[in-house]
Chain A
Amino acid sequence: ILNVEQSPQSLHVQEGDSTNFTCSFPSSNFYALHWYRWETAKSPEALFVMTLNGDEKKKGRISATLNTKEGYSYLYIKGSQPEDSATYLCAFRDDKIIFGKGTRLHILP
């Protein structure tokens, strides 16, 4: 059984501070790693799709890195804003799609 682990499970960050969290996945048979943001009562929104070891992707204040050899990806948020409050999900893909449980981010005003 493949395990995709996300940590921490929950995170409270002061507005303006930067933060990061982790997605760990099996390092064999890697095809792609997806990051999603899921705000309450909305649809999960795709943030990044990462395929190559050493990939770095950026969208505004959010960026992500990928290490397929050791099986982890980091998501970084710079200068957190209230609208960043959401659950951040990663999904590992080989011939299956396995989601982590997510990191719940709460931005404190």
Chain B
Amino acid sequence: EAGVVQSPRYKIIEKKQPVAFWCNPISGHNTLYWYRQNLGQGPELLIRYENEEAVDDSQLPKDRFSAERLKGVDSTLKIQPAELGDSAVYLCASSSRDRITYEQYFGPGTRLTVT
């Protein structure tokens, strides 16, 4: 079974440029999460989807970040325009349903560097 796929793995952009990350969850997983991990910190939840519905986006900086999960399968996370402070690892995870005990399966992440 294929795991969670993310692309690109690495991205370097100049500030004020747009950037997009893509995630394909494990087949059949209806819950999808986007996390941001800053250096020395734990992952911070940005947005959680149940199928195509964003059920928790309280931590998503909506002035510059946007996300979509059309058709309830793969998802994109966009930053426009990027700022220096957006440099981080962006992790995508999925689970079979958002029940408390269900494990999340993570992708390898996208390491973003904004110069």
Contact = CB atoms under 8 A, between A and B. Distances in A.
B25 interface: no
B88 to A, nearest CB: 13
B42 A43 contact: no
A96 B107 CA distance: 20
B101 A101 contact: no
A96 B58 CA distance: 10
Contacts of B33: 97
B45 A96 contact: yes
B100 A99 contact: no
Range for the number of chain B residues in contact with chain A = 20 to 34
A106 B101 CA distance: 29
B44 A32 contact: no
A99 B102 CA distance: 16
Contacts of A31: 100
Nearest to B109: A43
Interface stretch (A14-22, A44-52, A68-76, A78-86): A44-52
B101 A99 contact: no
Interface string A36-71: 100001111110010100000000000000000000
Nearest to A41: B108
A69 B44 CA distance: 25
B4 interface: yes
7 contacts: A31-B100, A34-B104, A43-B4, A93-B100, A96-B56, A99-B35, A100-B42
Interface of B: 3-4, 33, 35, 40-45, 56, 91, 93, 100-109
Given A34-B103, A46-B104, 15 more contacts: A31-B100, A32-B100, A43-B3, A43-B4, A44-B43, A46-B105, A51-B100, A89-B42, A98-B42, A99-B42, A100-B42, A101-B40, A101-B41, A101-B42, A102-B42
